[in-house]
Amino acid sequence: MTTSTDSLSTASERTQRTEQTLRNPDEKMVQSENEKLNDDEEIDYPDGGFKAWSVVFGSWCAMLGCFGIWNSVGVFQAYLSENQLSHYAEGDISWIFSVFSFLFFFCGVQIGPIFDAYGLNALVIPGSIGFVLSIMLFSLGNEYYQFLLSFSVLGGISCSLLFTPSIAAVNQWFNVRRGLATGIATTGGGFGGVIFPIVVRDLIPKVGFGWALRIVGFICLVTSTLAVLCLRTRFPPNKTSGATIDLSSFKDRRFAATACATFMIEWALQIPQTYFTSFALYKNVDTTFAYQMIAILNGASVLGRWLPGYIADRVGRFNTMIATIFMCAVFSLSLWMASSAVDGTNTGLMIAYMVCFGFASGSGISLTPVCLAQISDMREYGKRYGTTFSFASLGTLTGVPIAGAILKAQNGRYEGLIGFCGACYIVCLMFLILARGFGGGWKLGTVY
């Protein structure tokens, strides 16, 4: 009798909840969001141990190659504009690197869901082969179309095959320490961004541009091989995920705001990386030192990728992103704008900007995947990640050429370009505040 009464009571409660949901559709969305928030608590994560940290090392190796090259495009652009492509405008040359960045992220629309459905090896092995091959072919180029096909198309697609799975794999092994683990993995890109510009610049006078790139290619061959050996997944393939873009994710307000913020980050981030070497040459900085500016930025970003990840696990991932993006806007509109406005060469201001911006911008790489993971079901993470970065890839495709067009319109002066960069970060900050509010509420003290 008691059991029958309990069953009737339970059925009555379910009926009441259903009626409430029908009366208030928003409640269903809130309930769905809460279920996603609790998903990570239901899955057991190692959050450490040899296997987990070996995956981080494998991801670090993948990042050193693909993101190290991505962080070094300013050096390549400056060299090509002075040598093989000297008869092209800066804005035209920038398309080579914009297409590379676009494919780097846009291909995630298919690569993320393929990772969910088929795992690592189907992506990482061909990605490693194509990535190394693209650098070797890039070293042989002399014409615009050759650089576009080898570096932009083959290199961009191959880097996406490496980058997307290496980030997604780390998220399967960590939850509480996810920010720290992802931050450590992404420091590989910072190290690569320090090593490759110095290697290329030092070797060009000795062995030429071609062999300097081939040596970089051999370094990437070693790191990519280590990535293949160390990366592994924990969850079984989810073949019901489907290899399509998930537009329904934008119904989640947190996801929509985070995706828009990611777009603005990608719109802004590559502007200093691509143009600062040219800016330093424009301000009559010594050629050798001008090429080392990007290495300074990337060196500072190593700390900027690790430390915010460590802090984010304690004070909140979105809170940390908001703070660092605010710093990016302030440093761009103060230090970089001031170094452009003053007459003559002021290397002190330039170095200060490279160090400060390098540190602050590091979280744009390391914490974006962590923020996405926080608001996603991990078994659908690859699809959501691919959806976000396919959208953000439009920013990487257009941001640098738009900056180049602004530069051309101002007859080579950089104030407009710098203002555009700073404005992008301000808009990004607004979207992050919205995402944080939608997910964690509007109280300042909330850890989210």
CB atoms within 10 A of CB 48: 13
CB atoms within 10 A of CB 434: 17
Q: Choose among 93, 91, 179, 197: nearest CA to 141.
A: 93
Alpha carbons 437 and 309: distance in angstroms, whole number: 20
Q: What is the dihedral of CA 375, 108, 323, 356, to 10 degrees?
A: 160
Both tokens assigned to 370: 């962590």
Average pLDDT of the residues of the chain: 83
Angle between helices 253-282 and 347-361 (to 10 degrees): 160
CB atoms within 10 A of CB 248: 9
pTM above 0.75, yes or no: no
Both tokens assigned to 374: 């926080």
pLDDT band at 128 (very low <50, low <70, confident <90, very high): very high
Residue 25 contacts by C-beta under 8 Å, 6 or more apart in sequence? Answer: none
Residue 60 contacts by C-beta under 8 Å, 6 or more apart in sequence? Answer: 184, 185, 187, 188
**Sign of the alpha-carbon torsion through 74, 75, 79, 84:** negative
Alpha carbons 377 and 110: distance in angstroms, whole number: 18
Q: Where are the alpha helices (DSSP H) in 332-380?
A: 337-341, 347-361, 363-366, 368-374
φ, ψ of residue 286 in degrees (nearest 5): -50, 135
Q: What are the tens digits of pLDDT across the range 163-205?
A: 888 888 888 888 888 878 888 898 888 889 889 988 988 898 8
> CB of 112 within 8 A of CB of 382?
yes
Q: What are the tens digits of pLDDT across the range 70-110?
A: 888 888 888 888 888 888 887 788 889 889 988 887 886 67
Question: Residue 15: exposed, middle, or buried by beta-carbon count in 10 A (0-12, 13-18, 19+)?
Answer: exposed
> CB of 448 within 8 A of CB of 315?
no
Q: What are the tens digits of pLDDT across the range 259-273?
A: 999 999 988 988 998
Alpha carbons 411 and 108: distance in angstroms, whole number: 37
CB atoms within 10 A of CB 427: 17
Task: Average the pLDDT over each of 20-34, 131-145, 344-358 and give the range with the smallest value.
Answer: 20-34
| pLDDT score of 14 | 43
Angle between helices 415-440 and 381-409 (to 10 degrees): 150
Both tokens assigned to 343: 């007459």
> CB of 375 within 8 A of CB of 439?
yes
Q: What percent of the chain has pLDDT over 90?
A: 34
Q: Cα angle at 70 between 99 and 123, to 5 degrees? A: 80
Residues in the chain: 448
| pLDDT score of 27 | 41
| pLDDT score of 5 | 41
Residue 340 Cα distances to 58, 326, 329, 429, angstroms: 40, 21, 16, 24
pLDDT band at 15 (very low <50, low <70, confident <90, very high): very low
Residue 129 contacts by C-beta under 8 Å, 6 or more apart in sequence? Answer: 158
| pLDDT score of 328 | 95
118 SS3 class = helix
Q: What are the tens digits of pLDDT across the range 367-388?
A: 888 898 888 876 777 678 778 8
Q: Choose among 387, 439, 386, 396: nearest CA to 167.
A: 386
Alpha carbons 107 and 123: distance in angstroms, whole number: 12
3-state secondary structure 328-342: HHHHHHHHHHHHHHC
Q: Choose among 157, 154, 172: nearest CA to 59.
A: 172
Place of tokens 């379910």: 14
